[in-house]
Amino acid sequence: MKLKKAMCIKGLLLSAVFLAGSCGSLENVPMSTRSSAPLTETTVTTTAPEVTDTSEESAADTIAVEVFVSQEPESVSEQTGESVPQSGGSVRLLFAGDNLIHTPIYRIAKETAGGDGYDFSPAYANLGTLISDADIAVLNQETILSDDFEPDTYPTFCTPTEMAHDMLDLGFDAFSIANNHVLDKGEKGLLSTLDFWESVYPNVPVYGAYKSEEDMDRVRTLEVNGIKFAFLGYMEHTNGISLPSSSPCRVVYTSEEELIEKQVRHAAEIADCVIVSVHFGIEVSNLITDDQKTFSRKLADWGADIIVGTQPHTIQSMEYLDRADGSRAFVFYCLGNFISTMDNPLSMAEILGRITVEKDSSTGRITLTQPDAVPLVDHFERTYEYVGVYPFDKYTPEMAAKHAISGVSYDFLKQLFRENIPREYMAEEYVPLIYEQNT
C-alpha cells in the first residue's frame, strides 16, 4: 500500500500547506563519526508507500537512537559456500520543485470550486499518476498555507489550505517548507501554517521550519518497505524577513554549518537514508554555483544521502557525489518550479527528480540507483483561463506557440532539457523525444 493512501485515510478520519519563493506574476506585470545529542524523532511507518528577491515575480501579477537492522539469516551459495548479501527493501522516491502559487492560480482554483473554497486539482491533472506512482513523493511547498490571512501573491505569498488536501490527493507524502518565503507573513504566518499541518495532517512530515528548538530537534522520519528515511531542510535566506528575537520559532540558514553538520550526522544515526532539501543558488539561472557544489559536498560528507535543491526557479543538473568510505550520495542541484506564473522563459522548464533506494538487509547499507529526471512544462496563456503543469510528452509545439511568456518555444524548452539534464539521467521514456526527434 502506498503511503499516500494511508495519509488520505488519516486525513478523512481527522477531517480534511505549503510555502514558496519570492516570485512575481505576469498578470500583474504592467557518514563518519556520529554525535549523540539528545534529539528525538517523529516517525510514520508503512509497509509501502538581508536579501530582497524580485526575480520570482509572477508573470500574472534523538538522535542517540540506534538504527535497527533485521537480523535475517544470510543466504549461502550452494556452489561456493560463501555468504550472499540478503536483498532488503526498495523504495522509489520522487521530488518536485517550488509549488509557487501566484494570483491566477488561486483565482482559477476559486472559480473551479464554484464558490465553495478552492480546487487546485485541475492545474495538476495532466500529471496523471506520475506522483502517486512513487513510494514516497516530496514537494517543496514554497508558499505558506493558511486561512488566517487572505490569499496573497508576490512578494508575500499565502495560499488557501485546500492546497494541502489536493497535493496529498495527488500523491505527495512529505513537504519541505525550507525556502525564502516561509516568513512572508512573519511569525504569525509561520505558526499558522504549522498549526494547520499539525492539527489536520499530524502524520504528514513537514520540515524546514519549526515552532521551537524542541520541535526542530524532532527529526521527521518515514519508514517504508523496511527503509527509514529522515528529512531535513535549510535555506540561504528569507528575503530579509527575520523572526522576532523573542520568538521560539526556528528556521535554519545554510550559514549555520555547525548546527547543520550536527543535525545531519544525528539523522544518519537514526535513519537508513537522509534526505536534505536545500533552498540555494542564483535565481533564474541554470548555472550551478561553487557555493552550491561546496555545500552539497559537505552535506554528503556529513551523512546526507539525497540532496534536493530548489530556489533558482529553473532546472539545473544532477550528479553522484563519491564519499571516502566508497558510498555515494546524489544531488539534484535544482528541480525548478512545480507550478507558477513567473515571467521568465527559463522558469517554464521543470523536472521531477526520481531515485531508488535499495537496502541490503545483511549489512544495513543502502545503495542509490536509477536516478532520473522527468521533464515538465509550466503552461499558461495570456488569458490566464488555465494554468497547468504538463509532462513534456503531453506538450506540443502548438501549445508552446500560445504561451504567455515571450521567448518560450518548443525547441527552446527541448534545448533547456538537453543542456541541463545529462542524457544518462533523462527518464528513459523521454530520451527519444528530447534527444532524437526533430520538431
Say what the pLDDT of residue 206 is.
98
Hey, what CATH class is 3-65+85-436 in? alpha beta
Identify the pLDDT of residue 17: 33
- Residue 437: the pLDDT is 74
Beta strands in 113-217 (DSSP E): 136-140, 174-176, 206-207, 209-210
Q: What is the pLDDT of residue 83?
A: 42
63 phi, psi to nearest 5 deg: -80, -5
* pLDDT value at residue 40: 56
pLDDT at 61: 55
Give residue limits of the domains in the chain: 3-65+85-436
From the number of C-beta atoms within 10 Å of its C-beta (0-12, 13-18, 19+), residue 13 rates as exposed
Looking at residue 115, its pLDDT comes to 86
pLDDT computed for residue 42 by the predictor: 55
Sites in the chain below the pLDDT cut of 70: 1-57, 59-87, 439
Q: Tell me, what's the pLDDT at 351?
A: 98
User: Could you tell me if 230 and 43 are in contact, meaning their C-beta atoms sit under 8 angstroms apart?
Assistant: no
241-291 residue pLDDT tens = 999 999 999 999 999 999 999 999 999 999 999 999 999 999 999 999 999
Q: Strand pairing partners for 248?
A: none
Q: How far from each other are the two terminal CA atoms of the chain, in whole angstroms?
A: 41
Q: What are the residues whose beta carbons fall under 8 Å from the beta carbon of 287, sequence distance 6 or more? A: 316
